[in-house]
């Protein structure tokens, strides 16, 4: 009995010590980590503001490769939502509350059953085009005593996780910047293209959400082609009817060339592209840099006193799902001329 009493007394003393320590711990915690990247803020911001890019660098999945992520709300930016399920990391929801382009991003993180916290990203670009990135988390209203003790434990765990994530982000962002900074335009030529049938979707998006819009429309067209056993005769394309950066609006026809005319269905239409003379060039590099080839073609047209008579077309010759190296992507750009 004496031994049992001693054990009980020791346990009570330990409990009192823990409670006293917890009482001295703060009810709030601010956790942050920073890193400097050799790239402008725009290349990093894009990796964070679009949750679908997080799989490339997010550290949490390294602890659970079976973690499942789903996306809701806006495609990216304010209103974008990411939900995750993990047996080892727990479940949660992250929502973007504020996004100031290339400057900062604020999110709310709801840890299922464990409360919520605010997280913030800051991007500070200097005159040399290097950027300091700071990732922070604020935990408020930590309950006494368990919440305060957990806050102390999480300080170290989360800091290490943030540092790992930022190191991954540095690698991804610098590789991305290198890829989008590398391009080449082939010699510009005049040629004729034959008439062809095509199936298209007319759609619009913000200028910085073109990739999301195109992915959605090409997926819809791909399903339609498969379900109806349609024979395609060339690479996918887009014809831009409007590109207005001031209004942040892009309007385009997204399509595939096909062998025969098909029946329209919903927003999928069948059209015939006429035979025409075009000014053509192959753009080698990421889609973000195609504007340089458009400018080169525009100059060629003006220098040769040609007249544009139709909508410019980009033909995506490389399947980006099979070729991850953006410097190897090839896009033919054609302008119909008289």
CA distance 249 to 233: 30
How far is residue 139 from each of residues 5, 136, 147, 215, 282, measured CA to CA in Å? 40, 10, 10, 37, 52
Using alpha carbons, select from 73, 176, 174, 72 the residue that is nearest to residue 130.
174
Question: Which CATH superfamily groups domain 183-337?
Answer: Regulatory factor, effector binding domain (3.20.80.10)
How far is residue 291 from each of residues 45, 142, 174, 184, 331, measured CA to CA in Å? 21, 51, 21, 12, 11
198 pLDDT exceeds 60?
A: yes
pLDDT tier at 167, thresholds 50, 70, 90: very high
Tens-digit pLDDT profile for residues 209-260: 898 899 999 999 999 999 999 999 999 999 999 999 889 999 999 999 999 9
Q: Is 235 helix (H, G, I), strand (E, B) or coil?
A: coil
Residue in the block written with tokens 């979707």:
201
Tell me the helix, strand and coil percentages in the chain, rounded to 5: 35, 35, 30
Give the helix ranges, DSSP H, for the chain: 2-24, 41-49, 146-180, 210-227, 290-303
End-to-end CA, the chain: 105
DSSP 96-121: EEEEETTTEEEEEEEETTS-EEEEEE
Q: What is the mean pLDDT of residues 295-314?
A: 96
Which one of 16-20, 40-44, 277-281 scores highest in mean pLDDT?
277-281
Sign of CA dihedral 289, 290, 291, 294: positive
Q: Does domain 22-180 have CATH number 3.30.530.20?
A: yes
The rounded mean pLDDT for the chain is: 87
Residue 90: predicted pLDDT: 80
Structure tokens at 21: 């320590």
11 pLDDT exceeds 60?
A: no
Using alpha carbons, select from 64, 66, 57 the residue that is nearest to residue 165.
57
152 pLDDT exceeds 80?
A: no
In the chain, domain spans: 22-180, 183-337
26 pLDDT exceeds 70?
A: no
């Amino acid at each position: 009995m004496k031994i049992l009493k001693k054990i009980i007394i020791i346990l009570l003393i330990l409990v009192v010590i823990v409670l006293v320590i917890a009482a001295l711990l703060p009810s709030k915690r601010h956790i942050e980590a920073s890193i400097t990247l050799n790239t402008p803020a725009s290349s990093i911001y894009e990796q964070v503001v679009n949750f679908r890019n997080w799989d490339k660098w997010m550290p949490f999945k390294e602890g659970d490769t079976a973690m499942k992520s789903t996306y809701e709300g806006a495609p990216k930016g304010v209103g974008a939502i990411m939900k995750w399920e993990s047996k080892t990391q727990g479940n949660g929801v992250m929502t973007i509350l504020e996004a100031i382009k290339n400057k900062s991003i604020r999110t709310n993180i709801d840890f299922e059953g464990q409360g919520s916290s605010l997280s913030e990203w800051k991007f500070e670009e200097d005159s040399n085009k290097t950027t300091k990135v700071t990732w922070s988390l604020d935990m408020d209203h930590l309950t006494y005593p368990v919440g305060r003790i957990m806050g102390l434990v999480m300080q170290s765990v989360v800091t290490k996780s943030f540092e790992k994530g930022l190191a991954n982000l540095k690698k991804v962002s610098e590789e991305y910047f290198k890829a989008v900074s590398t391009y080449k335009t082939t010699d510009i030529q005049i040629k004729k293209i034959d008439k062809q049938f095509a199936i298209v979707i007319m759609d619009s998006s913000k200028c910085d959400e073109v990739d999301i819009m195109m992915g959605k429309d090409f997926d819809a067209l791909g399903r339609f082609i498969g379900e109806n056993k349609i024979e395609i005769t060339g690479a996918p394309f887009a014809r831009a009817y409007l590109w207005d950066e001031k209004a942040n609006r892009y309007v385009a026809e997204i399509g595939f060339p096909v062998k025969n005319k098909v029946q329209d269905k919903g927003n999928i239409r069948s059209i015939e592209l006429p035979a025409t003379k075009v000014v053509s060039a192959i753009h080698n590099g990421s889609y973000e840099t195609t504007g340089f080839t458009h400018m080169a073609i525009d100059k060629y047209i003006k220098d040769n006193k040609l007249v544009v008579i139709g909508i410019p077309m980009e033909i995506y010759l490389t399947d980006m799902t099979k070729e991850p190296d953006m410097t190897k992507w090839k896009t033919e750009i054609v302008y119909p001329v008289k």
